[in-house]
Chain A
């Protein structure tokens, strides 16, 4: 067993001979996950996980206060982020086999974007995004008749977590510099998280995305409720990329997809 700088217990691939079939690059470290099994990591992914910025996700509960109702629903965004990386690796493998994704660099960037997709979450996760920054202000202001019909003042809400993720990835030295050392442009990772990359398929920011594929399975396992138990393998094997770089599903897998999409996010 190997222990990282921040205490994550991982198997070294050389010790156990596990994770067969995984590309050598992604066998630098293996983390055992109760949902997906062995999750293989590259060297740069391991360094990113060991950063203080990423380790913060250990202290953020994925399901907020849900653990007050479902006692075991207290898993972290750290665990979920590793799960999303794993689902992404499986999706990219499907696309690579079918020729819809060819560059190894694109796969590397998609995996890193998946790993970092929740890095901008606030304490209490989505709850903070609903708070008006200047909640007392609107009580004192009234709008004059608008001449152009537009609401000209910005709504002073906290930015969404994926916007914050972009700021963290492009500004925080422990993330930004590690990416740049590996010839990865931080702004590209931020664009992938927001689903705005001009060339690489969007896997993270749409109805049918790798984020949801992980948390449905993880929620189900940790809460004990059956909702969300989807046939992930079947869905993964029927994914395709459109010419607009959106991820879509072959029609024959629509029932599995409906099950996935009807589960509340």
Chain B
């Protein structure tokens, strides 16, 4: 087990994905989007993302998740000799603040993290944007990419506000 995968395992343990739930699409989506949000809130894990069907996606992360699952199944326990440093734990808490679904919204957690990650990606990472990208342009792009949310302007605005509260609307990362 490499140090990179030991770190991934310890991080996933902390966010409730330590069993590597990669058996279904929605679980893989949750893993991808949560790790993406972890990275932009300051816990750099080295994964780089491109846009796929449901938002930012990293093939290397998928590979590592499957490899890690196999390593755990074969009895490897190297990760038990390590712990996350305090600094890493603080950054984790920052990410947890963002992906908890607000009480006044009725939405599946899977869709919430998908929208958070997607809106952030379109605002800060995607190549389509110009230097003076407007909020309206980002929203329009999101609705184009995700037509199922086209009539949920209120929800999209709520997601934007959540990103803004934590500083991720004005800044690409919190590092």
Residues in chain A within 8 A of chain B (CB atoms): 133-134, 136-144, 146, 152-156
Which single member of A133, A134, A152 contacts B78 (CB below 8 Å)? A152
A–B pairs, 27, beta carbons within 8 Å: A133-B4, A134-B2, A134-B3, A134-B4, A137-B4, A137-B7, A138-B3, A139-B88, A140-B7, A140-B84, A140-B85, A141-B3, A141-B6, A141-B7, A142-B84, A143-B83, A144-B80, A146-B81, A152-B78, A153-B2, A153-B3, A153-B81, A153-B82, A154-B1, A154-B3, A155-B3, A156-B3
The proximity string for B residues 1-21 relative to A, scoring 1 for CB distances below 8 Å and 0 otherwise, is 111101100100000000000
B84 touching A141, Cβ below 8 Å: yes
Q: Kindly report which residue of chain A lies nearest to residue B76, judged by CB atoms.
A: A152
- For A136, list chain B residues within 8 Å (CB): 44-46
- For A140, list chain B residues within 8 Å (CB): 7, 43, 84-85, 87-88
A152 and B116 alpha carbons, distance in the complex (Å)? 38
- For B7, list chain A residues within 8 Å (CB): 134, 137, 140-141
A142 touching B3, Cβ below 8 Å: no
- For B87, list chain A residues within 8 Å (CB): 139-140
- Report, nearest first, the 10 A-B pairs whose CB atoms are least far apart: A140-B88, A134-B4, A137-B3, A141-B82, A156-B2, A137-B7, A142-B85, A136-B44, A152-B78, A153-B3
- Contacts A134-B46, A136-B46 given: A143-B82 contact, CB under 8 Å? yes
Measured CB to CB, the closest approach of chain B to A217, in angstroms, equals 41
- For B81, list chain A residues within 8 Å (CB): 143-144, 146, 152-153
- For B4, list chain A residues within 8 Å (CB): 133-134, 137, 156
Measured CB to CB, the closest approach of chain B to A147, in angstroms, equals 8
B78 touching A153, Cβ below 8 Å: yes
Q: Kindly report which residue of chain A lies nearest to residue B6, judged by CB atoms.
A: A153
- For B3, list chain A residues within 8 Å (CB): 134, 137-138, 141, 153-156
A141 and B82 alpha carbons, distance in the complex (Å)? 6
Q: Kindly report which residue of chain A lies nearest to residue B92, judged by CB atoms.
A: A140
Q: Kindly report which residue of chain B lies nearest to residue A132, judged by CB atoms.
A: B3
